A = this chain, B = another copy of it.
Amino acid sequence: MRKAKGLLLIQDGLGDRPIYKLGRRTPLEAANTPNMDNLARNAITGLMDPLAPGVRVGTDVGHLALFGYNPLRTYWGRGPIEARGVNIELKTQDVALRCNFATVDDEMNVIDRRAGRIREGTNALASALSGMVLEGDIEVIFRLATEHRAVLVLRGDHLSPEITNTDPGPASVGEPVRTCQPTEPGLRLAKRTANAINEFVSRSHEILSKHPVNIKRVDEGKLPANIVLTRGAGSALKMRTITERFGLKGACVAGESTVIGVARMAGFDIFTSPRFTANVDTSLEDKSRHALEALKQHDLVVLHLKGTDILSHDNKPLEKMHFIERVDEMIGQLVAKIEPDVYIALAADHSTPCEIGEHTADPVPVLIHGPDVLVDNVVSYGERNCQKGGLNRITANQFLLSLLDLMGFTVRYGY
């Protein structure tokens, strides 16, 4: 079958709901996006549900689905994805956990789950925790991810990921740090693992409270990153890479460790840089340049942008709109430099309506632009315009397969 290349741009948490001060339009609808609209005019558009209508997902599950995996079969906790994101190669017995640097008061109640979104000195804090030994013989690998996020890997025999979170979760200000426990009573390995986690959290509080980085932060009136909260425990995943499944070479341009983790598990080559901050201040120019470079040697290039999601969680619709306009400029520059036979797809991993401040199940607008797609009548990229698109309403798996089919990489059932 004829083969073609494809570029998939993912704007994290792009989907939104009507916002009064934007004239009852979403940030995407309100934004001035001539380049996305140009793509839409010559594309097939539609609505995409990460898993299914009405099902909310995290960034990890949303990306697993967009990378062509069925998260209901391949998802065993965010920890292993994050571990791959920070380039830790998990061994079979390892248990990996997603962590936050957080701030607690003297009674171990959570003041801020993100320690004031700490960005400076975090490498030094992470180093101070890595290498400790728990329960006599469990080795700790602790590595910084992006911003206040980190990864904890427990390495040793007789461990189990069937444990609960110590992180009390979003909207938990004032709540105490939870005690890690087996997910069900009687799980012996899980009990041992939970003990190790509780020891780790407790020692993290001791070590971090005295750390110079935090003493300086307190002096400056900032929240200290005086504890590590854990969640999303899981073991190594066994996934067939996208190369094995479809015979294509993939690349992912991203700064966020979750997305990098999923991409690595899918067998994608990673293009990243310290200037990819997984935030609003990421270098769009560098991302664009890396994507063009990656397209030379790869069939499918995924370009991920986190800024839209960050601004949504912080309920900043106007800033989200402006960020989308900056992305639109980047798209304009990209399109001008891409060969016309390359398929260009726009998508999002999930919706994050600003006024909700969390991921919701609202479907996201998507489009595929390319030389021979059945162009529909939609002339602007937006949540409501794409409701009338020719793709109709499909899932993230189906969307990726549709893109791969246009690119000539799908497998045929039957003769």
Contacts and interface: CB of A to CB of B under 8 A. Distances in A.
Nearest to A231: B415
Given A52-B401, A57-B414, A392-B392, 5 more contacts: A1-B356, A18-B374, A360-B405, A374-B383, A387-B392
Nearest to A54: B401
A146 interface: no
A249 B240 CA distance: 43
Contacts of A384: 374-376, 390
B372 A57 contact: no
Contacts of A392: 47, 387, 392-393
Interface residues of A, number: 67
Given A372-B17, A374-B383, A57 B412 contact: yes
B398 A75 contact: no
Copies of this chain assembled into the complex: 2
Contacts of A400: 54
Interface string A7-32: 00000000001100000001000000
A371 to B, nearest CB: 9
B356 A71 contact: no
Given A55-B401, A56-B410, A387-B390, A17 B373 contact: yes
A327 to B, nearest CB: 21
A318 B331 CA distance: 37
A362 interface: yes
A56 B398 contact: no
B405 A362 contact: yes
A397 B49 CA distance: 14
Nearest to A167: B415
Interface stretch (A59-67, A108-116, A123-131, A276-284): A59-67
Nearest to A49: B398
Interface centre among A55, A356, A358, A376 (most CB of B within 10 A): A55
A30 to B, nearest CB: 13
A310 interface: no
Interface centre among A52, A355, A372 (most CB of B within 10 A): A372
Contacts of A398: 52-54
A51 interface: yes
A399 interface: yes
7 contacts: A53-B394, A53-B398, A54-B400, A71-B413, A231-B415, A232-B415, A356-B408
The 7 closest A-B pairs by CB, nearest first: A54-B401, A58-B414, A61-B414, A53-B398, A392-B393, A361-B405, A387-B390
A173 interface: no
A2 interface: yes
A397 B17 contact: no
A263 to B, nearest CB: 16
A355 B231 CA distance: 51
A303 interface: no
B399 A54 contact: yes
A128 B292 CA distance: 60
A369 interface: no
Contacts of A17: 372-374
A355 B372 contact: yes
Given A362-B405, A405-B361, A56 B411 contact: yes
A288 interface: no
Given A375-B18, A392-B387, A59 B415 contact: yes
A78 interface: yes
Interface string A51-94: 11111111111101000000100010010000000000000000
A56 to B, nearest CB: 4
Interface centre among A231, A375, A399, A410 (most CB of B within 10 A): A410
Contacts of A217: none
